[in-house]
């Protein structure tokens, strides 16, 4: 593995890239070699939750499923936060049961996510994907034990440079999510921001991958 794409919705099938492809329970594609699976807060459907959780639990017991998610909380959608929390906590319980890391979608609810992790005493790694916030929130997350993944906003928002530079090397991943750019472009910018060679960046992320996914 030369490159690891922590979170993507597109499987590009390149031999030198390990892609953690986001899957949904009702749209599962068995041909994808490595994936995460979860109930995204945008797509919570009351009548479907139990069926989705059953599929997720089944997939978590396979080697190809590297993580649960993306799941989480989003205060900018119409689905009530209380319902989102119930679904999120049920998924976290499954991640803990099967010892799988969690890919987190979080919009304007970082304090809630931190509090839930603490309340439930979650021991598995929790990774905030697509981070776009300031250093203060990043520091709170790192202090609370989270990993942080950067991609789209790192490429789009120069103000994230300082935030990214201050993230400890052992606590970040890189991703493409839904953007058209490839993971190499994210690596190129990240290595420039960290002022290190691509090879060193690859070693850092390979080490983080081993810590989180190969326990």
CB 89 within 8 A of CB 53: no
Coil, strand, or helix at residue 39? coil
Residue 105 bridge partners (DSSP): 72
Answer yes or no: is 52 a known binding residue: no
How would you list the strands of the sheet with 65-74, edge to edge? 3-8, 17-23, 35-37, 65-74, 102-107, 126-128, 147-150, 172-174
Cis, peptide link before residue 75, omega less than 30° from 0: no
- Inter-CA distances, 53 with 45, 57, 67, 87, 175, Å: 12, 6, 14, 9, 25
Answer yes or no: is 9 a known binding residue: no
Residue 126 bridge partners (DSSP): 102
Answer yes or no: is 129 a known binding residue: yes
Answer yes or no: is 177 a known binding residue: yes
CB 157 within 8 A of CB 150: no
CA–CA dist 81, 76 (Å, integer): 10
Residues belonging to the binding site for a divalent metal cation are 70, 105, 129, 177
Cite the annotated binding site by residue number. Answer: 70, 105, 129, 177
């Amino acid at each position: 593995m030369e490159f690891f794409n922590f979170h993507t919705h597109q499987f590009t099938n390149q031999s030198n890239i390990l892609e953690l492809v986001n899957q949904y329970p009702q749209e599962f594609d068995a041909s994808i070699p490595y994936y995460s699976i979860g109930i995204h807060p945008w797509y919570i459907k009351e009548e479907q939750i139990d069926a989705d959780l059953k599929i997720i639990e089944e997939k978590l017991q396979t080697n190809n499923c590297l993580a649960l998610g993306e799941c989480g909380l989003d205060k900018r959608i119409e689905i009530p936060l209380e319902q989102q929390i119930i679904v999120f906590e049920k998924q976290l319980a499954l991640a803990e049961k099967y010892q799988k890391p969690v890919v987190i979608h979080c919009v304007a609810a970082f304090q809630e996510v931190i509090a839930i992790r603490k309340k439930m005493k979650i021991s598995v790694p929790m990774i905030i994907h697509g981070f776009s916030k300031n250093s203060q929130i990043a520091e709170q997350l790192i202090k609370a034990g989270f990993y942080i993944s950067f991609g789209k906003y790192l490429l789009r928002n120069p103000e994230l440079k300082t935030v990214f530079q201050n993230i400890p090397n052992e606590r970040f991943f890189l991703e493409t999510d839904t953007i058209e750019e490839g993971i190499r472009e994210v690596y190129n910018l990240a290595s420039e921001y960290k002022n290190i060679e691509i090879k060193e960046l690859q070693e850092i992320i390979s080490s983080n991958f081993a810590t989180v996914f190969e326990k």
